[in-house]
Structure 1
């Protein structure tokens, strides 16, 4: 068999490092995962993603360029094996909770028939495909599409429970998430041990009493879209959190408050207006000088 040839591009350094690992199979697995990650993801580039909009470093000018070109800067597509492994664990956690809710008949949303490739909405676990009558074993849950088409916003919630008038959001919590979003909270639980400064997992998880801020902002935007654009009565969002270090779980409820989303809706409206007139907005993070996100598009143009 001829050896594989890997072209230069995002993830190449990580790929080459995988070839140096002492255990060949482990290295082959890493190379396989990175090869898959280098393929087009299918993630839409013609919409604003709520997960990006709620970040403190969301750049309106970068969003304008991405929507206009329908492509991300090369820097955004770089990845590592560790990052892909984290994503895979997150997918498995989602599947677990969605399977349990499906078995209970408590999950509404889009459903995908693996037999005919059709998608259809159902308020509870369907007994057969709406199009070809394939049995439940051929049907998988496809989550809850949330689109504000006039504003070019598109996303998906992890689930919707009609009985609770609630969106479902499934999260995993690890130390990396806390370091990024709530470092001051994490620091409270760092203790000196014989192995250095380590977090007290028991106390940390005991005192974790609310979802991370970005997650709250994201579900508020989801609920805004559900109520204003999808005719979906989402009065609250129910969070299911899995704690990675111990596999313990917690649930939180966040009530709908559209005031959270009004600035984001205004920003999306302004970006759409700029697209219609082909007039780039100023960078909202660093004015005329630009920030790292929008400057990447200028570098790509060069």
Structure 2
């Protein structure tokens, strides 16, 4: 059997490091996970994703080029074993909560049936497949697809509870998330220790964590906009469930719908779609004609 070819770059460095692991099984599982991550991506390339739109560095010109060329966002193919491990933990956390809501009969949305290999929407937690009548044991929750075709926006919410008139978002909170989004909050709880230098006081930090992270709030506001205007879902809020990784404690927060938070993103998406229709690139919204790091990657190299 031909040996697997691993392309150069960051993933090759990770792959070679795994090959040198002292314990063969430890090295093999790292290589397996990296190989699997290098497989084909099923993430749609013909739409703008809310998770990217709500970031502070979202570039309208880069979004235009990605839609026109139908390519992934920069860096999406780069990964590490640690990153894949974090993703997998997040998937398992989602499944845990979704299974509980399923058992409580508080979950609506899209469902995939293992028996007939098809999907269907259910306004109430189904007891069987609506297409082939297979029992609920054959069903897998496919979450809540939200799409605005005219705006070229599509995403998925973690859940929808009609009884609560709410979308559901499930999050894991680690120190890395705080370091990236709220470094000033994390720094407030760093304490000096004799043996290990500065470490976070996890008890006080978790006690004072009282609201979802800003990017998550912007994302669910956009989700709620899509749900109300394009999917005709009856909701007025989103309920967050945050699992704190260091201690496995959980907090819940409620964010009420505020359409004004999504208006600038909707206007930007409409403008990008108009630019695509006329084949006229928009200006970079971060650095004008000079461009930013995200849109400059699409710039053709200058001829010498």
Q: Which 5+ residue runs of structure 1 have no aligned equivalent? A: none
Partner residue, 2:218: 217
Q: Show the counterpart of 2:19.
A: 19
CA positional deviation for 1:10: 6.0
Q: Is the 8 A contact 1:10 1:77 kept in 2?
A: no
Residues 245-273 of structure 1: CA distance to partner in whole angstroms, max 9, x if unpaired? 00000000000000000000000000000
Q: Following the alignment from structure 1 to structure 2, what is the Cα–Cα distance between the partners of residues 91 and 301? A: 43
Task: State the partner residue of 1:269.
Answer: 270
Query: How far, CA to CA, are the matches of 1:300 and 1:130 in structure 2?
Result: 54
Secondary structure (helix, strand or coil) at the match of 2:42 reads: coil
Quick check: 1:158–1:168 contact (8 Å CA) kept in 2?
yes
The 1-side partners of 2:124 and 2:8 are apart by 47
Q: Which residue of 2 aligns with 1:134?
A: 134
Q: Which shifted more, 224-233 or 196-205?
A: 224-233
What are the residue-to-residue correspondences of 1:1-302 with 2, within 5 Å? 3-8=3-8, 11-72=11-72, 75-194=75-194, 195-298=196-299
Structure 2 CA distance for aligned equivalents of residues 291 and 242 of structure 1? 35
Q: Bigger CA drift: 152-161 or 287-296?
A: 287-296
**C-alpha distance in structure 1 between counterparts of 2:232 and 2:34, whole Å:** 40
TM-score, normalized by length of structure 2? 0.96
CA drift of 1:290 comes to 1.2
1:176-195 deviations in Å (ceiling 9; x for gaps): 00001000000000000121
Taking the aligned partners of 2:94 and 2:75, their CA distance within structure 1 comes to 27
CA distance in 2, matches of 1:75, 1:162: 37
Q: How far apart are residue 3 of structure 1 and its match? A: 4.0
* TM-score, length of structure 1 as denominator length: 0.96
Classify 1:298/1:39 alpha carbon distance in 2 versus 1 (closer, same or farther; 3 Å).
farther
The alignment partner of 1:77 has SS state of coil
Deviation at 1:301, TM superposition (A): 11
Given the superposition, is the C-alpha separation of residues 120 and 277 from structure 1 closer, same or farther in structure 2, using an over 3 Å criterion? same
Deviation at 1:131, TM superposition (A): 1.2
CA shift, 1:126, in A, is: 1.2
Q: 8 Å contact 1:73–1:296 — kept in the other structure?
A: no
2:107 & 2:278 partners in 1: Cα distance? 42
SS for the counterpart of 1:34 is: helix
CA shift for structure 1 position 233: 1.6
Separation in 1 of the partners of 2:250 and 2:271? 40
Relative to structure 1, the CA distance from residue 74 to residue 227 in structure 2 (aligned partners, 3 Å threshold; closer, same or farther) is closer
Task: Show CA shifts across 1:85-118 (max 9, x none).
Answer: 1100000000000000000000000000011111
Report the Cα offset of residue 39 of structure 1. 1.1
CA contact (8 A) 2:74 2:294 kept: no
Distance (Å, rounded) in 1 between the aligned partners of 2:289 and 2:20: 45
Q: How far, CA to CA, are the matches of 2:73 and 2:213 in structure 1?
A: 27
Coordinate RMSD, CA, aligned: 1.6
Q: Quote the Cα distance in structure 2 between the aligned partners of 1:85 and 1:300.
A: 37
Deviation at 1:76, TM superposition (A): 3.1
Instruction: Structure 2: state its 5+ residue gaps.
Output: none
User: Could you say what secondary structure the match of 2:76 adopts?
Assistant: helix
Supply the distance in 2 between the matched residues of 1:181 and 1:94 (Cα, whole angstroms).
Answer: 21
SS of equivalent to 2:298: helix
Q: Give the direction of change, closer, same or farther, for the CA distance of 1:300–1:17 in structure 2 (3 Å limit).
A: farther
Distance 1:62 1:100 in 2: 40
Q: Which moved more, 1:7-16 or 1:63-72?
A: 7-16
- State the alpha-carbon separation in 2 of the partners of residues 30 and 184 from structure 1: 34
